[in-house]
Amino acid sequence: MKLKFTASLKYLLLGIVAVGLLIYAFRGVNFKKIINEISHANIFWLLITTLLSVVAFVSRAYRWKLLIEPLGYSPSLRRSTYALLAGYLSNLIFPRLGEVTRCGSLSRTEKIPFSSLLGTVVVERIVDVLSLLICIFITAAIEYHRLGDLLIDNIVNPLFQKFRDPFYLLLFLVGVIILFIALILYFKSKRSKENRKSIFVSFTAQLMSGLGSISKLKKPWLFVFHSVLIWTIYYFTTYLAFFSLQSTSNLNFKAALIVLVAGGLGMSAPIQGGIGTYHLFVSQALMLYGLSREDGLAFATLSHSFQMITTILFGVVSFLLLFLENRKIKVTAEHMKSQ
């Protein structure tokens, strides 16, 4: 009961933070200008980016499949894709729960140990962080002045200024205390120490097995190819999205790189769907290229909204298809048992 309360409190606080960041991003802007800009958007280019996003989804699912194969399992690409999209949908509501959802979904349909799958997802996250860092380094080499302005003027300096205020410092300390208490409650269990130790050892062994899958890849170059393909698609979806609005249609490939990094940082925040952080970072990045704050927020809002719509649409369909898959498996098992 305490764990459920703690989890609910955590997600509620994150939701409040998301709303606060969204309000902060849109403070003092001309909403009529933003709405007018979005109302004249060229939807064709956004539909193209949506199709490219679908390709990225399938590529991600296939890359995940490559990580699972060294564990001795060969899940179907179809079910892997369904589980991935279901996880993305869960992340929009409960940050970081998507990893649990996708592993649980594939575990049920493919009979693969949950903890082993979780290990492969951890590997994926590490690869994604490294990929984002590579993008940052490339951006630093090409647009180092603008990237420096984005990171220092809009992220580092504001944080230092906030912590000089006793109120924000106190708020930060309270947040740390809440996190510490949440961790204590999380690890506290009614089970005996022996059972807890046994479960922990078993779970850790399977988790490490999943983590070790990257060193046993049967097709390592194919894994690298899909990792590059995923981020290449992200880059081109960012660039093509520029053509959807008049204010961003003249931006070049360098600007797309900066916006990709800004968007990546925004979506990496442990907040529902990157709400607020994505809008703030992307709009600030676009302002480095002479766009007004309203134009930057119009692009960020339009781009983020289409991403959310795509995730919700395909996520809901995937949840339904997974339900039907599980039902079919259950019926088949009961039929075989009755014979």
Residue 25: closest CA among 331, 290, 282, 332 = 282
Please name the residues in contact with 223: beta carbons below 8 A apart, sequence gap of 6 or more.
Answer: 63, 66, 67, 214, 217
Domain boundaries, the chain: 2-332
**What pTM was computed for the model?**
0.78
At 155 the pLDDT is 55
Tens digits of per-residue pLDDT, 174-230? Answer: 555 655 555 555 555 444 443 444 444 544 554 555 555 666 788 889 999 999 999
Residue 269: closest CA among 55, 91, 85 = 91
Q: How far is the C-alpha of 288 from the C-alpha of 296, rounded, in Å? A: 10
Residue 298: closest CA among 244, 252, 224, 251 = 244
Q: How far is the C-alpha of 15 from the C-alpha of 133, rounded, in Å? A: 27
Q: 265-282: b or e for each residue (b if 16 or more CB lie within 10 Å)?
A: bbbbbebbbbbbbbbbbb
CA–chain centroid gap for 169, Å, is 28
Tens digits of per-residue pLDDT, 41-55? Answer: 999 999 999 999 999
Say which DSSP state 149 is in.
I
Q: How far is the C-alpha of 257 from the C-alpha of 137, rounded, in Å? A: 11
Pick 118 or 78 by higher pLDDT: 78
At 28 the pLDDT is 83
